[in-house]
């Protein structure tokens, strides 16, 4: 699967797509020419960087970090920061809701809720195996 989405945010050292949560090595950029041929200023190439995704006043990176911190707190530190970030992204992928969709709460309270909901499944798995 190749991600051709545009907005996202830098998480854990890579660019995370806000739509499909693909991890890209570099922040997407577009090149375009400014100025007109034969105008006063010679045309030159300009670069536009992909915009940072924001929803409910939270950037994607802030949201994923809020989830990661919640994970660390709820599991008594059994995740390190990088693992918690990766796991937070896995949770987001299971919802397959693009960042900023109307169906989820994208505040830090919403981030905690997603994590708490996921951890409930852990408890259920544990009691099922007992």
32 close to 48: Cβ distance less than 8 angstroms: yes
Binding of Zn ion at residue 19 (CB under 5 A)? yes
Q: Apex CA 111: angle with CA 109 and CA 116, to 5°?
A: 95
Q: Which of 5, 23, 27, 54 is close enough to bind Zn ion by CB under 5 A?
A: 5
Q: Does 74 bind Zn ion (CB under 5 A)?
A: no
Instruction: Find how far residue 82's CA is from the centre of its chain.
Output: 14
What does the DSSP 8-state code read for residue 58? Answer: E
In eight-state DSSP terms, residue 41 is S
Among 6, 7, 20, 23, binds Zn ion (CB under 5 A): 20
By CB under 5 A, residue 69 contacts Zn ion: no
How many residues bind Zn ion (CB under 5 A)? The answer is 6
27 lies in the binding site for Zn ion (CB under 5 A):
no
- Judged by the rule CB under 5 A, the positions of this chain that interact with Zn ion are 3, 5, 17, 19-20, 22
């Amino acid at each position: 699967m190749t991600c051709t989405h545009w907005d996202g945010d830098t998480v854990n050292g890579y660019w995370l797509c806000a739509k499909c949560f693909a991890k890209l090595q570099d922040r997407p950029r577009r090149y375009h020419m400014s100025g007109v041929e034969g105008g006063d200023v010679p045309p030159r190439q300009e670069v536009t960087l992909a915009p940072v995704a924001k929803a409910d006043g939270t950037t994607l990176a802030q949201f994923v970090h809020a989830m990661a911190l919640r994970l660390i707190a709820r599991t008594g530190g059994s995740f390190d920061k990088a693992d918690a970030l990766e796991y937070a992204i896995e949770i987001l992928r299971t919802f397959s809701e693009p960042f900023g969709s109307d169906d989820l709460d994208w505040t830090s309270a919403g981030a905690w809720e997603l994590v708490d909901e996921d951890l409930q499944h852990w408890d259920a798995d544990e009691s099922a195996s007992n």
